[in-house]
Amino acid sequence: MAGPDGRTAKDEQLDRDRVDPRGENLTTDQGVRVDDTDNSLQAGERGPTLMEDFHFREKITSFDQERIPERVVHARGAGAYGYFEVTDPLTDFTRADFLCDTSLRTPVFVRFSTVAGSRGSADTVRDVRGFAVKFYTREGNFDLVGNNMPVFFIQDAIKFPDFVHAVKPEPHNEIPQAASAHDTLWDFVQLQPETMHMMMWLMSDRALPRSYRMMQGFGVHTFRLVTADGRATFVKFHWKPKLGTHSLVWDEVQKIAGKDADFNRRDLWDCIEAGAYPEWELGVQLVPEEDEFAYDVDLLDPTKIIPEERVPVRPVGRLVLDRNPENFFAETEQVAFHLGNVVPGIDFSNDPLLQGRLFSYLDTQLIRLGGPNFPQLPVNRPVAPVANNQRDGYHQTRVHRGETSYAPNSIGNGEPTVAGPEGGAYVHYQERVDGNKIRKRSESFKDHFSQATLFWNSMADWEREHIVAAFRFELGKVTRPHIREGVLRHLSQVHGDLARRVAEGLGTEAPPSAPVHEESSPALSQANAPREDIATRKVAILAADGSDAVSLRTVKQRLSAAGALPEVLAAHAGTVTGAGGESIPVDRAMSTMASVLYDAVLVPGGDKAVDTLTSDGLAVHYVAEAYKHGKAVGALGAGRLLLSAAGLRDVAYAENGVRDDRGVVTQGEAGDASEDFCSTFASAIAAHRHWDRDVDAVPA
């Protein structure tokens, strides 16, 4: 619970662990002050270094060992602190107090990540994104370790090493980095049809999020909520971003990887620093135990969803991230998530992938973080009191008192004692389990294509075009024909039109297609995401000497008031001179940025400025590229000439007043930017992308 100043117990706990060397003398790890840290101790000015130089040895040893093994998967990540508040209590379904008590503000740490790449890879690659939340509840830590996609590639954890080995860079040459477009991954896919639903998600724009702040999250598995009297309800967890779910496009992500490999982590950091705190709504799908078999999918199958139209997502709380870490290594890199970290009122299902993860995550942390005491690291330490008989080991930071470290004992009064259910102890859900020891999957897991078809049926036309293009690109990188043929056979089971269009791009024939259903789930399409808010949207305003300073200032102020982040770009940093002699501050030099790093581009009026910009190939490219990527483009007065120079010849411009032609917003008359123009341009930005354009008519 937060105090009067808004600070939580986790904040106070972290205060005690902070070290700030400012104003202090340099010392060794033993607290001995150092007189020189630039020169090793040596025998004479040109003599050998002496091993008795304890400062040198300590300093270099620490440096030699300051890197720990990176995560096998999810190595590339970014994190932040925040809080969770329950808004619609789940009192009838669980005893977990952080989901029941509206007076609580539960501190959290959230880590976002890519799956396949190394720590040095780019943020914007085509990949699944991790969405892991550590709740520091007063009953102990609860880790909800999910992804930005609600399903996974495999059904049983025993296949996880195979999948990861297949998607990682190929072992003979360590190529390609952070990419799925290679033979080994698609060989696995063509031999493992259970991957097809997830591959549809991976080939969609969901694999290219605009930012972590505009990305959904899912718990993936079916869990259980359990009441104090032992009654259970199946639950699936959903995170929905307040800003809506939005994506980049393939051409953008490749360019951003070169322009700013830290695009997503920088975006998260900058928005929190600016006070534009990312926010998500936590929702749950609840299924009574008696309805476990009421659906045409098995709730234990992690490659399946329950469509929201059949089981609505019930909003229950809000997650807000409001503080950046102070040290990436100590916090973001050392945070240790584990699905086995649950609190009273939350339990597991028999999902075989979930069951395997319960072992794997703990096993991973033991080797990465050097032994069993990693929960004592500040970022991992619970705010709930810890008392047990675990002792010693690497990196033990507690100084245990007393003579006993075993149970039962009489010397230490039998303490620490077992609480029991009435004392808030965790009690596992009592489920009857029996059966023969076998290696066999349930028959209910064998439908590998119907939900892949559901996903395809649910997409808007532009989303389907992007999926087809993604399959063509990925399979076009595959060198072995039989692998491409195997994947096409799977695609023909998903939808004949999908298989045909992909095959055309590969210059081959599609296999005969199977009959498919026509069901759809509108909730799966990003075309149905909220599109009312422009908060944190970045707008590039192109300026030069002679720009209309009045209209530029007006539109910048109005966009900023709506929460957008407009920046003035020019050929150089510093200032440019407006048409009336005013000094216009320039936020960035155009050459240091790129249109792919913005959500929209605006060209103010001013004849002289527009003449300069139309002769600047970079300015012309800004407009053309933004248009081809479906982004909002605005022009005031003479600014329309730059749009024409960029090849936007199929656009109908406003001669008088304001006109919006598929997200290209223009104002014909000269002078100040009207309120109508600003609101129309803001609406065009809020729409995120405008895919009804003839983008192929515009030069790259």
Q: Does one domain contain both 667 and 649?
A: yes
- With contact defined as beta carbons under 8 Å apart, do 268 and 328 qualify? no
Looking at residue 700, its pLDDT comes to 61
∠147-148-151 over CA atoms, to 5°? Answer: 70
Judged by phi (left if over 0) then psi (alpha if -120 to 50, else beta), residue 140 lies in left
∠493-496-502 over CA atoms, to 5°? Answer: 100
Assigned token pair, 110: 């959230």
Cβ neighbours, 10 Å, residue 465: 13
- Is residue 243 in a domain? yes
Q: Does one domain contain both 280 and 330?
A: yes
Q: Does one domain contain both 160 and 278?
A: yes
Looking at residue 557, its pLDDT comes to 96
Instruction: Give the domain range for residue 364.
Output: 77-376
Residue finishing a domain among 528, 556, 585: 528
- Is residue 524 in a domain? yes
Residue finishing a domain among 356, 376, 396: 376
Q: Does one domain contain both 243 and 325?
A: yes
Residue 74 is among the residues annotated as catalytic for this protein: yes
Looking at residue 671, its pLDDT comes to 59
- Is residue 420 in a domain? no
* Catalytic option among 55, 141, 147, 341: 147
Q: Does one domain contain both 352 and 246?
A: yes
Residue-wise DSSP of 402-443: SS--SSS-STTTTPSPP--GGGT------------------G
Q: Does one domain contain both 566 and 644?
A: yes
Q: Does one domain contain both 595 and 666?
A: yes
For the chain, which ranges sit under pLDDT 50? Answer: none
Looking at residue 2, its pLDDT comes to 67
Q: How much is the pTM?
A: 0.94
- Is residue 43 in a domain? no
**Tokens 């995401």 label which residue?**
529
d(CA 494, CA 28): 64
Residue whose C-alpha is closest to residue 364's, from 340, 336, 390: 336
- Is residue 470 in a domain? yes
Judged by phi (left if over 0) then psi (alpha if -120 to 50, else beta), residue 32 lies in beta
Residue 147 is among the residues annotated as catalytic for this protein: yes
- With contact defined as beta carbons under 8 Å apart, do 315 and 282 qualify? yes
CATH number at residue 480: 1.20.1370.20
Residue whose C-alpha is closest to residue 137's, from 112, 91, 101, 90: 101
d(CA 414, CA 407): 7
pLDDT in tens, 552-603: 999 999 999 999 999 999 999 999 999 999 999 999 999 999 999 999 999 9
Q: Are strands 664-667 and 632-636 parallel, antiparallel or unpaired?
A: parallel
Q: Quote the DSSP letter at residue 318.
A: E
- With contact defined as beta carbons under 8 Å apart, do 186 and 487 qualify? yes
- Is residue 417 in a domain? no
- Is residue 39 in a domain? no
d(CA 210, CA 113): 14
Q: Does one domain contain both 89 and 117?
A: yes
d(CA 697, CA 30): 69
- With contact defined as beta carbons under 8 Å apart, do 632 and 660 qualify? no
**Tokens 């639903």 label which residue?**
197
Looking at residue 434, its pLDDT comes to 84
* Catalytic option among 25, 39, 55, 74: 74
Q: Does one domain contain both 552 and 466?
A: no
CATH number at residue 215: 2.40.180.10
d(CA 92, CA 227): 7
Q: Does one domain contain both 601 and 467?
A: no
Number of domains in the chain: 3
CATH number at residue 626: 3.40.50.880
Looking at residue 1, its pLDDT comes to 62
- Is residue 434 in a domain? no
d(CA 166, CA 470): 19
d(CA 685, CA 59): 52
Assigned token pair, 117: 């790449």
Residue finishing a domain among 507, 528, 549: 528
Judged by phi (left if over 0) then psi (alpha if -120 to 50, else beta), residue 663 lies in left
d(CA 64, CA 76): 22
Q: Does one domain contain both 524 and 651?
A: no
**Tokens 């998500």 label which residue?**
280
Q: Does one domain contain both 555 and 591?
A: yes
